[in-house]
Amino acid sequence: MNKAKTGVIISAAIAAGVLLASAQGALAGPKYKAEKCFGVAKAGKNDCAAGPGTSCAGSSTSDAQADAWIYVPKGTCKRLVGGSLQAKEAKGAASDS
C-alpha cells in the first residue's frame, strides 16, 4: 500500500472516531447541571418539544417560540429575556377559556 492510500485511511479513521465521540456526547445531554428554558430558542434550534405535531430537536418554527425549549445552565433561564421554566401558550394558539 502506498503512502497516499495509508494517509487517506488514517484520516478517515480519525474522522470517524471524532464523529462517533461527538455523537455520543450529543445523545448524553449536557455535561453541566441544566434546566429546560422555554421561549428563548432560535427557530429550528430548540433541543426538543415545540408544541403539538412536532417531532423533537430543531422543530421550532419561530424565534422565541413559547412552547419550544433549550437546555441552559441551571439558574440562568429566568435571567434571559422571555425565558420561562414552563411552556407558555404559543402566540396565535387557541385558548381553552
Answer yes or no: is 93 within a domain.
no
- Tens place of pLDDT for every residue, the chain, 97 residues? 676 776 667 666 676 666 665 544 455 566 789 999 999 999 888 887 666 656 677 778 889 888 888 999 999 999 999 999 998 775 544 444 3
Residues 49 and 81 in one domain: yes
Residues 65 and 36 in one domain: yes
What is the span of the domain harbouring residue 68?
A: 32-88
DSSP tally for the chain: helices H, then strands E: 1, 3
| Alpha-carbon distances, residue 93 vs 10, 28, 49 (angstroms) | 53, 33, 16
The C-alpha cell at 14 is: 480519525
Q: Model-level pTM?
A: 0.56
Answer yes or no: is 94 within a domain.
no
pLDDT of residue 2: 73
Residues 54 and 11 in one domain: no
pLDDT of residue 73: 94
Residues 25 and 37 in one domain: no
| Structural domain count, the chain | 2
pLDDT of residue 44: 86
Residues 23 and 38 in one domain: no
